[in-house]
C-alpha cells in the first residue's frame, strides 16, 4: 500500500515529511494543523447542526439563504431562532405534520391515506398557533380556501380534501396558505356547536371510529393518539363496574374470573367515558356501500329520538343486551371519569375540572387538560425529531422541561418541535 511506509512514523515525523515549509518548526506546524482542524470542526458543527435541525423539522434540506441565517443564529447561541426558521418551511406542514397525524385518522394506523378533515384540522391548529388542547374539544375545522374553487366540503364524501391535495401535488398551491378556519357547526349543519369536539367529531374520525361497533373505538383511539396509553396500560380491576353495558358478558366462556380479573379493568373506566358519544353515529348504506365510504356523521339533537332506544341514545349502545341483561342501559350522553378514583394517578387529571359532564366536548376537555396529554404530545414530537424515544435521565429531564415550555407557550405544538430539534441537533 502507498501509505504503508508512513504507518510507523510519529505524528511529528509525518508533519516533517509533508511540511514543505522547512523553516517552520514541527511545533508550529502542529499548532497550525490543530488550529485549522478545530476551526473546521467549529464551522462544520454549526453547518451540520443547522442542516440537522432543518432536515428533522421539515424533512428537506434548507435553502442556501435559510442555512446561512440558521448558522448565524446557532453561532450566536440562539438555536431556537434557527429552529423557528425551519418551521416556516412548507414541508413542515405538508410532510412532517401530515405524516404525524395520518396514522391517527384510521384504525389501521396507516400513514398512506389521503388528506381529510381530521388531518387538515390537526395541521391547521398547529399552523395557526392555536391552543393544541382544542384538538379534542374545539368547534373548529379547517377547509380549503374558497378562492381556490375546490370541490365544496360535503358531509358524505372526502372530495374537497382530495381536490386540495391534488392542487398541492400539482404545485399550484401550498397547504400552509390554502387552509382556512371555520366553525365545525357551520360546515356540518347537523352538528350543533355544543356537540363539536375538534377532530373527534370530524367526518374522518366518525368514518373510522363510529363505523359499526359500539362507539368505544373512538375513545380507545383517542387514548392511544393523545394520551399515548392503551386501555391495558391504565386498566384497574378495583373500579366500580356499575356502568359497564349489557353487551359485556360477566362470565365469558362460562368463567366469571375472566371478567373480574381482566374485562372489568378496561370496561369499568372506558364505558362511562365512551358514553359521551351516545348521540353520534356513522350513517351509511350497508347494502350498497358496506365500507361506508359515502357515509356521514349523524347526531341526535334534542328533538330526535332513536326508534330502538326511545331516547336520543343511538341503537348501538343497546346491542347484544342479552349478554348480561342486568348490565347498564345507557340513558343519555352523561359521562364520568372513574379513573380519577383509580389507584393509578399518573395521568394527572386537572383538579379544576369536575371529572363528569355531558357529550364529547366536555369529555375531550377532560382528556386534553390532563398532564398525560401534554406529556404525550411532547414525547411524540421528541421521538419524531430525534429518531428515538427518550431513554436516559438527561432525556427525561429534557422532556420535563419541554412540557413546561409547551404549556407556557399556550400549548403551541411548534414549541415542542423547536425544543426537540435543538436538544438533538448534536446527535
Q: What is the pLDDT of residue 16?
A: 44
Look at residue 196 and give its three-state secondary structure.
coil
Cα–Cα dist 342/234, whole Å: 9
For the cut 50, the answer to whether the pLDDT of residue 3 exceeds it is: no
Q: What is the pLDDT of residue 317?
A: 98
Q: What is the pLDDT of residue 38?
A: 33
Tell me if 29 sits within 8 A of 39, measured CB to CB.
no
Look at 412 and 25; give whichever has higher pLDDT: 412
Q: What is the pLDDT of residue 427?
A: 79
Cα–Cα dist 192/298, whole Å: 11
The three cell numbers of residue 256 are 366469571
Phi and psi torsions of 306, nearest 5°: -75, 135
Segment 113-172, tens digit of pLDDT: 999 999 999 999 999 999 999 999 999 999 999 999 999 999 999 999 999 999 999 988
Q: If we measure between CA atoms, which residue out of 165, 164, 204 comes closest to residue 292? A: 204
Mean pLDDT computed over 300-324: 97
Query: Cα dihedral sign for 382, 100, 205, 179?
Result: positive
Identify the residue whose cell numbers are 403551541: 412
The three cell numbers of residue 357 are 359532564
User: Please, what's the b/e burial string for 200-230 (b: 16 or more CB within 10 A of its CB; e: otherwise)?
Assistant: bbbbbbbbbbbbeebbbbbbbbbbbbbbbee
For the cut 50, the answer to whether the pLDDT of residue 11 exceeds it is: no
Q: With bands split at pLDDT 50, 70 and 90, how would you rate the model's confidence at 190?
A: confident
Look at 118 and 4; give whichever has higher pLDDT: 118
For the cut 70, the answer to whether the pLDDT of residue 17 exceeds it is: no
For the cut 50, the answer to whether the pLDDT of residue 219 exceeds it is: yes
Cβ-based neighbour number of residue 405 at 10 Å? 16
Q: What is the pLDDT of residue 175?
A: 96
Tell me if 143 sits within 8 A of 117, measured CB to CB.
yes
Mean pLDDT computed over 162-183: 96
**CA 222 from centroid of its chain's CA atoms:** 10
Cα–Cα dist 406/347, whole Å: 17
Cα–Cα dist 113/125, whole Å: 20
The three cell numbers of residue 219 are 375513545
Maximum distance among all alpha carbons in the chain? 102
Tell me if 132 sits within 8 A of 377, measured CB to CB.
yes
pTM metric for this prediction: 0.88
* CA within 13 Å, CB half, 94: 19
- Per DSSP, the residues of 275-302 read GGGTTEEEE--TTT-TT-TT-EEEE--T
Cα–Cα dist 269/331, whole Å: 18
Q: What is the pLDDT of residue 417?
A: 98
Phi and psi torsions of 245, nearest 5°: -70, 170
Tell me if 273 sits within 8 A of 370, measured CB to CB.
no
- State the alpha helices, DSSP H only, in 76-151: 79-87, 90-91, 98-101, 117-127
Cα–Cα dist 338/344, whole Å: 11
Cα–Cα dist 49/52, whole Å: 5
Q: What is the pLDDT of residue 139?
A: 98
DSSP state letter for 389: -
Question: Any idea which of 44-48, 209-213, 254-258 has the lowest mean pLDDT?
Answer: 44-48
For the cut 60, the answer to whether the pLDDT of residue 9 exceeds it is: no
Q: What is the pLDDT of residue 346?
A: 83
For the cut 50, the answer to whether the pLDDT of residue 301 exceeds it is: yes
For the cut 80, the answer to whether the pLDDT of residue 2 exceeds it is: no
Q: What is the pLDDT of residue 21?
A: 38
For the cut 90, the answer to whether the pLDDT of residue 22 exceeds it is: no
Q: With bands split at pLDDT 50, 70 and 90, how would you rate the model's confidence at 36?
A: very low
- Express as a percent the part of the chain with pLDDT over 70: 89
Q: With bands split at pLDDT 50, 70 and 90, how would you rate the model's confidence at 361?
A: very high
Cα–Cα dist 372/421, whole Å: 22
Segment 248-284, tens digit of pLDDT: 999 999 999 999 999 999 999 999 999 999 999 999 9
Contacts of 176 (CB under 8 A, 6+ apart): 90, 93, 94, 127
Mean pLDDT computed over 387-407: 96
Q: With bands split at pLDDT 50, 70 and 90, how would you rate the model's confidence at 343?
A: confident
Identify the residue whose cell numbers are 392503551: 230
The CA distances from residue 405 to 29, 137, 310, 370, 427, in Å, are: 48, 22, 49, 16, 22
Tell me if 114 sits within 8 A of 346, measured CB to CB.
no
Give the CA radius of gyration of the chain: 28
Look at 33 and 196; give whichever has higher pLDDT: 196
Q: With bands split at pLDDT 50, 70 and 90, how would you rate the model's confidence at 32?
A: very low
Amino acid at each position: 500500500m502507498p501509505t504503508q511506509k508512513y504507518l510507523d512514523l510519529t505524528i511529528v515525523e509525518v508533519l516533517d515529511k509533508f511540511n514543505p515549509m522547512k523553516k517552520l518548526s514541527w511545533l508550529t506546524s502542529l499548532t497550525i494543523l490543530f488550529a485549522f482542524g478545530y476551526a473546521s470542526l467549529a464551522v462544520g458543527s454549526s453547518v451540520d447542526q443547522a442542516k440537522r435541525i432543518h432536515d428533522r423539522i421539515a424533512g428537506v434540506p434548507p435553502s442556501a439563504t435559510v442555512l446561512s441565517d440558521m448558522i448565524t443564529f446557532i453561532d450566536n447561541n440562539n438555536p431556537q431562532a434557527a429552529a423557528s426558521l425551519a418551521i416556516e418551511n412548507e414541508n413542515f406542514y405538508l410532510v412532517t405534520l401530515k405524516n404525524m397525524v395520518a396514522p391517527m385518522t384510521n384504525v389501521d394506523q396507516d400513514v398512506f391515506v389521503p388528506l381529510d378533515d381530521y388531518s387538515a384540522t390537526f395541521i391547521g391548529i398547529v399552523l395557526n398557533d392555536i391552543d393544541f388542547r382544542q384538538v379534542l374539544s374545539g368547534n373548529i375545522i379547517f377547509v380549503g380556501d374558497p378562492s381556490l374553487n375546490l370541490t365544496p366540503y360535503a358531509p358524505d364524501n372526502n372530495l374537497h380534501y382530495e381536490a386540495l391535495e391534488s392542487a398541492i401535488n400539482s404545485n399550484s398551491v401550498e397547504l400552509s396558505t390554502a387552509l382556512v378556519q371555520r366553525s365545525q357547526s357551520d360546515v356540518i349543519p347537523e352538528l350543533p356547536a355544543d356537540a363539536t369536539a375538534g377532530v373527534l367529531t370530524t367526518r374522518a374520525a366518525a368514518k373510522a371510529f363510529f363505523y359499526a361497533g359500539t362507539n368505544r373505538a373512538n375513545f380507545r383511539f383517542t387514548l392511544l393518539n393523545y394520551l399515548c396509553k392503551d386501555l391495558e396500560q391504565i386498566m384497574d380491576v378495583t373500579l366500580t363496574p356499575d356502568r359497564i353495558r349489557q353487551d359485556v358478558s360477566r362470565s365469558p366462556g362460562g368463567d366469571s374470573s375472566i371478567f373480574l380479573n381482566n374485562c372489568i379493568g378496561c370496561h369499568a373506566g372506558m364505558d362511562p367515558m365512551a358514553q359521551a358519544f351516545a348521540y353520534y353515529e356513522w350513517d351509511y348504506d350497508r347494502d350498497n356501500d358496506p365500507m361506508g365510504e359515502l357515509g356521514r356523521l349523524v347526531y341526535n339533537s334534542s328533538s330526535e329520538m332513536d326508534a330502538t332506544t326511545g331516547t336520543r341514545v343511538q341503537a348501538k349502545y343497546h346491542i347484544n343486551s342479552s349478554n348480561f341483561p342486568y348490565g347498564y342501559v345507557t340513558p343519555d350522553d352523561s359521562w364520568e371519569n372513574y379513573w380519577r378514583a383509580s389507584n393509578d394517578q399518573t395521568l394527572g387529571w386537572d383538579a379544576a375540572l369536575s371529572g363528569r359532564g355531558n357529550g364529547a366536548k366536555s369529555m375531550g376537555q377532560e382528556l386534553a387538560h390532563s398532564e398525560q396529554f401534554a406529556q404525550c404530545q411532547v414525547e411524540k414530537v421528541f421521538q419524531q425529531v430525534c429518531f428515538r424515544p427518550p431513554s436516559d435521565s438527561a432525556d427525561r429531564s429534557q422532556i420535563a422541561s419541554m412540557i413546561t415550555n409547551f404549556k407556557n407557550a399556550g400549548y403551541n405544538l411548534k414549541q415542542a418541535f423547536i425544543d426537540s430539534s435543538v436538544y438533538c441537533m448534536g446527535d
